[in-house]
Amino acid sequence: MENLNIGITLMVIGMAAVFVFLGFMIVAMNFTAKIVSIINKYFPEPIPEEKNTRKKKQDDESEIALAIAVAMRERVKVI
C-alpha cells in the first residue's frame, strides 16, 4: 500500500510540474508575440516585388497546338 501512495504522490508532482511549465510557456509565447508586433511596427520587413514570369495566353495556346500537332504526326507514323 505504501508503494501505491508513493506512486500517486510522484504522479501528482509530475503532473503539477508539467502544468506549471505549460502555463509558463503560454505566458512566454504571448509576451514574445507582443514584443514582435511592437518591433514590426518600427522595423517592417520589405515586401518583395513579384516578377511577372507568366507567358502570354497566346504563347500558351501555341505551345498546346504544337504539342497536339506533334502527337498527331507521331500517331499517323505508327499506324
**For the whole prediction, is pTM greater than 0.75?**
no
The domain limits of the chain are: 2-47+54-78
C-alpha distance from residue 48 to each of 37, 39, 51 (Å): 20, 19, 9
pLDDT higher than 70, residue 78? no
The reported pLDDT for the residue numbered 54 is: 59
Compute the distance between CA of residue 28 and CA of residue 66 in angstroms, rounded to an integer: 60
More confident residue, 49 or 32: 32
C-alpha distance from residue 71 to each of 31, 54, 60, 66, 76 (Å): 62, 25, 17, 9, 9
Q: What is the mean pLDDT of residues 9-33?
A: 98
